[in-house]
Amino acid sequence: MDEKDLNTKVQPTWCSGCGAYGFLTAMKKAIAQSNLAPKDVVVTYDIGCAANMINFFNVCGFATLHGRSIPVAVGVKMTNPSLTVIAQGGEGGIVTEGANHLIHAAQRNDDITVIINNNYVFGLTTGQASAATPKGLKTSSTPEGNPFEALCAVDLVAVSGGTFVARTAASEIEKTTEIIKKAIAHKGFSLVEILHPCVIWTKGVKIPEGTWTEKPFADYKEFLGKENLFGVLFNE
């Protein structure tokens, strides 16, 4: 299948320099290289900047509600297990509003792939701190600096029972493509956290200088609490 078949007539509306462009490219490559027909791929989208991708990505897309892309995906997969089902959302939707669904889908090891576009902030609503905003960061809702430690999706999913856990950066298109391919091929719950600081609200945040793992860790305790590890961290 050709990547071009995954384009729609609509041009992306993201800010120039946004990591979502790299993410979209990686998604198209991953679906094309996995030889999946667009009609057999369902992406349930959250509400947020990256979720606007529903209009730019030609698969069976469903724009759901803020925080609820995971349960919609669970219902789709239970009803038609032959579909490839991906739930997308920012860290606002998946780690903040809908974190309950993330934990429970991981606990049940639901056979879906969850992709989190982590830009460390509520972007569309003008830059308020989310549950995954780094401690100390000044945002429009934390003018004195965010007083809380960031909630880490990778850690949450690992301890909840998810069986595939990965972290990548949107700028690393080839690596992200490979990781998404592995995640959708994984049987059971898979999480891919994609880091791309917002070019408007969190441009001062640097993606940690990290180590890309060659092979997944055998025990999740080895990567818990380590923000600087990338690649497939856990693959049971």
Binding site for other proteins (CB under 8 A): 8, 10, 38-42, 44, 47, 52, 54-55, 58-65, 68, 70-80, 82-83, 100-101, 103-104
Min dist. Cβ of residue 146 to other proteins (A): 27
Cβ distance to other proteins smaller for residue 76 or 154 = 76
Entry field: residues in the chain: 236
Rounded distance between C-alpha atoms, residue 180 and residue 168, angstroms: 10
Min dist. Cβ of residue 93 to other proteins (A): 12
Min dist. Cβ of residue 104 to other proteins (A): 4
Residue 140 CB coordination number (10 Å): 13
Q: What is the DSSP letter of 96?
A: I
Distance of CA 158 to the CA centre of its chain: 15
SS3 137: coil
Question: Cα angle vertex 126, ends 121, 130, to 5°?
Answer: 25
Cβ distance to other proteins smaller for residue 104 or 226 = 104
Cβ distance to other proteins smaller for residue 110 or 178 = 110
Min dist. Cβ of residue 143 to other proteins (A): 30
Cβ distance to other proteins smaller for residue 107 or 213 = 107
Cβ distance to other proteins smaller for residue 57 or 234 = 57
Both tokens of 187, joined, read 């049987």
Min dist. Cβ of residue 123 to other proteins (A): 17
Min dist. Cβ of residue 9 to other proteins (A): 8
Min dist. Cβ of residue 3 to other proteins (A): 15
Rounded distance between C-alpha atoms, residue 102 and residue 204, angstroms: 28
Residue 46: partners with Cβ closer than 8 Å, 6 or more residues away: 64, 65, 66, 67, 68, 69, 87, 88, 89, 90, 92, 93, 94, 98
Cβ distance to other proteins smaller for residue 72 or 154 = 72
Rounded distance between C-alpha atoms, residue 158 and residue 153, angstroms: 8
Cβ distance to other proteins smaller for residue 103 or 151 = 103
Q: Are 188 and 111 in contact (CB under 8 A)?
A: yes
